[in-house]
Chains A and B, each alone.
Chain A
């Protein structure tokens, strides 16, 4: 009996591993082809598939730049928008969550329930109204319209609340109060240093979300010198680059590689961060 049980387990385990490897191949191949093809010349790409990189990275970059697409500019724009969005989302996310966790004010639970509801309603539903209203204030074609809505990022508040509940030490706050610290001072000098790991995790999420955001930028931003990387991808898809495969792949790789590098360093925090956002509710 025991040997049959073992045999079954072994058989099942083999099936599972085969399936996992298959899934892994499907997951990784497109990304691998993207990175490899960014280093291969258009001729090489047309000749066939290769799993190994080639030597045409700089040539591809030259072609990419020569067709009027300023990837460097797009990169800087994206970096600015993503960094500013991250700061706003993380700071105000934790500020709001701190208010909910520490102070037992009237309507607290109602407010928290409302935040949870907001997590589920994305802005896209009302993007047209948002655009029209921003245009009245001359805020279309302005990064402020992309960044300021993150003052009220419900998902950030939700995450920060989950995190703060596990790290808040009431005694520290009381001690700081006795020492005469102001309430906001306690948040800045006592709470924020304690919450750095959680803030860092949230920062990664906020950064990736802002970096990858195409729809809002596409609707709101119109002048070419303000284009962010996802908007440049649209140009890469167009006629100008039609046959320059190497350059196209390189252009796409430029948008993706920073995120891959970041993931290589912080994947542990990202994975546990996702789990934390869902659980405990």
Chain B
């Protein structure tokens, strides 16, 4: 009997076998290959490559363009992530508020999510057209008297960067709202009822119940967004000339990697080292964030109940 059970369960290995084979061939080996490439001087032109140790990485650290790409990626990501998470929290709080009773929350969410499904390449080309010198935005601004004359939006550092930040925000705030709302509706209502009975304000409940219980969701949103931000390519690549113009202000990590990859000699070893470094940087930041937000106390719900006890204790004090 025991033996029979064992054989049935080992069928599991057969079911996951295609995944493992696929992963080894198309996931793990390319990672290993990228890593070894980054330690050589391989180009697309040469057959023979030499092992050169960490030379590529030394060159990268000395390369102003690499530093610029990393700074740009962080800047663009941070500037879009903060308003994205802020507005998502606000919308989710409003949509789930029993007192406000906002109508048709499903429809609002559905519409706000729409930009996320559109092809990023097409979105970049669309905004390029909208913000071009003869484009609709200039037409509107001049006709409405908000600008005295048309502006070369995509030749100015601030407006170009601002536009990439805006497009990223526009694409992702709906997604973040849906995720956070799902997290909020999963919080047991009795916690809020108890807090309300104890006279907690809406703000108190948000800070002491909602935020702590939302932590796993917030970590998920943070990490996925960070990985996306550090590998951002389509929008900044297709919005201007594909080199991050003007003045390399929207040249991101992946654009730099592509530029090295597609250079006339095809410096793929050098391009690999960009990928490796960005990977290390992103993983380190994600892990650091996990560490900062780790549960110091055993369980999040327990913590919230405890906070609740604190609130009620405080409310009780003056009496």
Q: Are B139 and A48 in contact (CB under 8 A)?
A: yes
Residue numbers in A under 8 Å from B276 (CB-CB): 125
Q: A130-B26, A149-B27 are in contact. Are A279 and B182 (CB under 8 A)?
A: yes
Residues in A with CB closer than 8 Å to B108 are: 20, 24
User: Chain A binding site: helix, strand, loop or mixed by DSSP?
Assistant: helix
Is there contact, CB below 8 Å, between B12 and A108? yes
The contact string, 1 if C-beta is below 8 Å from chain B, for chain A 33-65, is: 110010000000110110000000000000000
Minimum C-beta distance from B273 to chain A (A): 9
Q: Which of B18, B134, B186 contacts A151 (CB 8 A)?
A: B18
A113-141 near B? 1/0 per residue, CB < 8 Å: 00000101111111111111100000000
Within 8 A of A (CB), among B122-147: 122-130, 134, 136, 139-140, 143
Q: Is B125 a contact partner of A126 (Cβ separation < 8 A)?
A: no
Does B190 touch A at the CB level, under 8 Å?
no
| Structural contact, B223 and A125, CB atoms closer than 8 A | no
Instruction: Contact check, A215 vs B234: say whether CB atoms are below 8 A apart.
Output: yes
- Residue in A26, A92, A133, A233 whose beta carbon sits within 8 Å of that of B122 in the complex: A233
A263 at interface (Cβ–Cβ under 8 A)? Answer: yes
How many whole Å from B243's CB to the nearest CB in chain A?
13
Neighbour of A214 across the interface among B33, B170, B234, CB < 8 A? B234
Which of B100, B114, B181 sits near A275, CB closer than 8 Å?
B181
Which one, B23, B100, B136, B271, contacts A13 given CB within 8 A? B100
Smallest Cβ distance from A21 to chain B, in angstroms?
10
Say yes or no: B117 contacts A208, CB within 8 Å: yes
Is B30 within 8 A of A105, CB to CB?
no
Say whether B37 contacts A31, CB under 8 Å.
Answer: no
- Cross-chain contact B18 with A125 (CB below 8 angstroms): no
Cβ B8 vs Cβ A128 within 8 A: no
- Residues B169-227 near A (CB distance < 8 A): 170, 174-175, 178-179, 181-183, 186, 216-217, 220-221, 223-224, 227
Which residues of chain A are within 8 angstroms of B126 by Cβ–Cβ distance? 30, 33-34, 249, 252
Separation in Å of the A281 CB from the closest CB of chain B? 7
Nearest-CB distance from B179 to chain A (Å)? 5
Residue ID in chain A nearest B278 by CB atoms: A125
B:258-283 near A, CB below 8 Å = 258, 261, 268, 271-272, 275-276, 278-279, 282
Contact A183 B29, CB 8 Å, known A128-B257, A233-B122, A236-B125 = no
B26 cross-chain contacts in A, Cβ below 8 A: 130, 148-149, 151-152
Other-chain contact of B102, A16, A45, A230, A276 (Cβ < 8 Å): A16
Q: Is A163 an interface residue (CB 8 A)?
A: no
| B91-131 to A contact mask, C-beta < 8 Å, 1/0 | 10010000111100010111111110111111111111110
In the complex, the answer to whether A212 meets B120 with C-beta atoms within 8 Å is yes
CA A103 to CA B25, docked complex, whole Å:
25
A129 touches B22 (CB 8 A): no
Question: CA of A279 to CA of B22 in the docked complex: distance in angstroms?
Answer: 27
Separation in Å of the B29 CB from the closest CB of chain A?
Answer: 7
Whether the Cβ atoms of A33 and B130 lie closer than 8 Å is yes
**Cβ–Cβ < 8 Å partners of A274 in chain B:** 113, 175, 178-179, 182
Are B179 and A127 neighbours in the complex by a CB distance under 8 Å?
Answer: no
CA–CA, A98 and B91, complex, Å: 36
Q: How far is the CA of A123 from the CA of B125 in the complex (A)?
A: 24
Q: Does B114 lie within 8 Å of A99, measured CB to CB?
A: no
Is A259's CB under 8 angstroms from B117's CB? yes
Instruction: Say if the beta carbon of B58 comes within 8 Å of chain A.
Output: no
B125 CB contacts on chain A under 8 angstroms: 233, 236-237, 248, 252
Q: What's the nearest-Cβ distance from chain A to residue B89, in Å?
A: 14
A174 to B130, CA, bound (A): 60
Does A1 have its Cβ within 8 Å of any Cβ on chain B?
A: no
CB atoms of A214 and B9 under 8 A apart: no
Choose among B25, B122, B134, B234 the residue with the greatest number of A CB atoms under 10 Å from its CB: B122
* Residues in B whose Cβ lies below 8 Å from that of A278: 179, 182-183, 217, 220-221
Decide if B223 touches A237 in the complex (CB within 8 Å).
no
Indicate if A27 sits at the interface (CB-CB under 8 A).
yes
Chain A nearest CB, measured from B140 CB (Å): 6
B119 touches A120 (CB 8 A): no
The reply to whether B278 and A281 contact each other, CB–CB distance below 8 Å, is no
List of B residues within 8 angstroms of A76 by Cβ: none
**B11 interfacial contact with A, CB 8 Å:** yes
B35 on interface, CB distance cutoff 8 Å: yes
Given A121-B279, A259-B118, A279-B183, 10 extra CB contacts under 8 A: A17-B102, A126-B30, A126-B279, A129-B275, A133-B33, A152-B23, A219-B261, A237-B128, A249-B126, A260-B117
The 28 listed contacts between A and B (C-beta, < 8 Å) are A16-B94, A33-B136, A95-B19, A96-B19, A98-B15, A103-B8, A118-B27, A129-B32, A131-B268, A133-B30, A148-B26, A151-B19, A151-B22, A212-B118, A229-B119, A230-B119, A230-B121, A233-B238, A236-B125, A237-B124, A256-B119, A260-B114, A267-B113, A274-B113, A275-B181, A275-B182, A278-B221, A279-B186
What are the 7 closest A-B residue pairs judged by CB atoms, nearest first? A99-B15, A151-B22, A129-B34, A103-B12, A275-B182, A105-B12, A152-B22
